[in-house]
Amino acid sequence: MNAINGKTLVYGIIGYPVEHSFSPAMQNAAFQAAGLNGVYVAFAPAPEQLEAAVEGIKALGLAGVNVTVPYKEAVMDYLDDLTTEAMLCGAVNTIINWQGKLTGHNTDGAGFISDLRGTFGFEPSRGAALLLGAGGAARAVAVSLAGAGCRELALVNRNQERARKLAAGVISATGVPVQVFPWESGHPGLASFARRAVLLVNCTPVGMSGKGNNPFPLPETLPGPGQLAYDLVYNPSHTPFMRQAESNGAKTANGLGMLLYQGALAFTAWTGLEAPLETMRRVLLEQISG
């Protein structure tokens, strides 16, 4: 790692919890590969300290931060400006501090689409997509899928009001139809949509290390052949959602590729430089294998 001195630019990630994040290793390797005098660290402010933590970005002169769960939506209230993408997604995962002005960006959706296309050769225009969850990550994925040509979307969530609000926002922003289903195993409408979807995405923390393995409200035979099951969870690398899909003959992916591409976009937003993608990929693979 580059020597830290009085000119070192400090970046970081805020979340709660955040010790599981692979972003510090990835971004520090990127700074070193690019020859930049920067360091990236993790911060875990408690929910009641979020506003103070954001003010601390200015007070301490942090150059930029990433934002992870559960703060991607709540942090928006404390920023000076938002990009169009962040407003459409209704969530922020990247903040730039420019001369004391904090601007919220969202690179999650673009990172997700980059991974779909670059890693899996998957075009969202192929057909319908089913998303499990209705939080900030789900909104970013939904908006980006719609913008990339997805024909039809559906959301499955325990909190129906939250899901309906998200669906209305996506419809208003993109014009793509969005159905909402309850988190209810055996629901006939959900089962029917899930069978014809070409892409099923877990946008919940279910399966993440320490979060337990609550069952998904899908038939045991799904996801299945001809479908791509994408889990935004990347730690562990082989999730319950992926195991169910693999046992049925579906293609699977975890969120490591999305983490890579969204991190590369954040790096470029902070520095103005092309991200050292292969270095970042190698470090992530080392982290996940460890």
Residues with Cβ within 8 Å of 99's Cβ and at least 6 positions away in sequence, in order, are: none
Q: Is 211 a catalytic residue?
A: no
Q: Give residue for tokens 């930029």.
A: 64
Nearest Cα neighbor of 267 from 19, 15, 30, 57 is 30
Tokens of 192: 């029917």
Q: Which of 7, 72, 211, 251 is the catalytic position?
A: 72
Q: Where are the alpha helices (DSSP H) in 3-77?
A: 23-34, 50-60
How many helices (H) and strands (E) are present in the chain, helices listed first?
A: 10, 12
Yes or no: say if 10 and 63 are a contact pair by the CB < 8 Å rule.
Answer: yes
Token code pair at residue 71: 């703060």
Q: Which residues are catalytic?
A: 72
